[in-house]
Amino acid sequence: MTTVDPHAPVISIRERYRDMVSDRWLGIIAPQPDELLSSWLHRLAYANGVAPRAFARVLGLNPGMWSAALDLRLPADVANLLSANTGIAHNQLAAMTLSHDLPRELLLPLRNNGPQWSSTWLQFCSRCLAEDAQPYFRRRWRLATRLSCIEHGCRLRDRCPSCLGCIAVFDQAELVPQHYCVACGYDLRRAPVPYLSPTARTLDRCIDNFCSLEATAHASFGPLLIRRLLSMPSAAGGYYSTMMLTSLSTSARTYCAEHLSRPSEWPVDDENDRKARRLWHLVPPTSDHCAWIELLANALGRKGGLPGASEVKKPGKKIPYLLGAYARMSPGPGCRLPPELIET
Ligand SMILES: [Zn+2]
Ligand SMILES: [Zn+2]
């Protein structure tokens, strides 16, 4: 771990701090693919010898979750300051915020404390961090619907496995890279990967595939899908059934996804199974986002069911049918969506 000596380096940091505010900043950091603005800001601060908590003052901001708040809204004066001192264009800065292409309703709330079952503001993939030349946090790790890493397929974490603390780099007072836990110093790159079943991973990817802001905004069933995603704990049933998806930890949301997609609920050797299998080839191609948004919204609902499976009323039994179709879908043009499949 790179740390500054707790005594003399304080003077060093202050001198470098003056350099930063008096002239162009020395450390210029290029944004990484899908990097979250706060992640880039923390790396920028570190590259210039300023701890993240002190860097808030460089930007004229109050302490607390200052960088996480900038992810949601980047004021023009802060953007001007950053652009002038780093050479990073305004559109590059805006691209790191959460103001576009992700449904805001599905973002995890800005919370960095609470009981173990509750959500925190940011998740991470330890394998991604371990493979990064400069470890950074991705924008999509802010989504409550995201449980696994697209790159590695492994389940995300939202807490340090050593102290169970949340990601709180904005509050880091030491000159330490952001992949070390602020509370205990644990290297998050070493965090073990929690288990995630293949079916829950398929559900995760299916949702991620169709839940861009653009897709949900243009699909007539987009708002319904958003509402039903937020109500996934209710559809899953069990301990978290009265909670909103965004209020739950990654572990609790995984519990819901596992219940909705568990293989034991897949139909086997009965008439419904045979009818469902016959319909799989009728499901539209994944390029037809509007049709899939409609399918997902209905599968997560409480009414209706697949044709020939009238007794399959519970959402937890409809999702596996859809995931079966999703997993078996062959590329290429699909068929028209049968009206039975879009029944509400
Ligand atoms: Zn990863
Ligand atoms: Zn920790």
Ligand 1 geometric centre to CA of 45 (Å): 24
CB 204 within 8 A of CB 197: no
Q: Is the dihedral of CA 92, 94, 100, 104 positive or negative?
A: positive
Contact between 301 and 231 under an 8 Å Cβ cutoff? The reply is no
Q: How confident is the model at residue 318 (pLDDT cuts 50, 70, 90)?
A: confident
pLDDT (0 to 100) of residue 289: 82
Q: What percent of the chain has pLDDT over 70?
A: 78
In this structure, of 139-143, 180-184, 320-324, the range with the lowest mean pLDDT score is 320-324
Distance 167 CA to ligand 2 centre (A): 9
Question: What average pLDDT does the chain have?
Answer: 82
pLDDT tens track for 153-188:
999 999 999 999 999 999 999 999 999 999 999 999
pLDDT tens per residue, range 293-317: 888 888 888 543 333 334 344 444 5
Residue 340 alpha carbon to ligand 1 centre in Å: 38
| Ligand 2 centre distance from Cα of residue 178 (Å) | 12
ipTM: 0.98
Residue-wise pLDDT for 77-102, tens only, equals: 999 999 999 999 999 999 999 987 88
Q: Which residues of 284-293 are buried (b: 16+ CB within 10 A; e: fewer)?
A: beeebbbbbb
Q: How far is the CA of 304 from the centre of ligand 1 (A)?
A: 37
Q: Please choose, from the candidates 121, 150, 120, 125, the residue with its C-alpha nearest in 3D space to the C-alpha of residue 135.
A: 125
CB atoms within 10 A of CB 31: 19
CA of 151 relative to ligand 1 center, distance in Å: 5
For residue range 188-246, list pLDDT tens digits in order.
Answer: 999 999 999 988 999 999 898 888 777 777 788 889 999 999 999 998 888 899 999 99
* pLDDT confidence of residue 20: 56
Residue-level pLDDT at 274: 66
The per-residue pLDDT for range 35-49, each reduced to its tens digit, is: 999 999 999 999 999
What region, left, alpha or beta, does residue 265 occupy, with left being phi > 0 and alpha being psi -120 to 50 degrees? alpha
DSSP 8-state assignment for residue 163 = T
- Give residue 157 CA to ligand 2 midpoint distance, Å: 12
How confident is the model at residue 326, as a pLDDT? 82
Q: How confident is the model at residue 1 (pLDDT cuts 50, 70, 90)?
A: very low
What ligand is nearest to the CA atom of residue 125?
A: 1
Distance in Å, CA 193 to ligand 1 centroid = 10
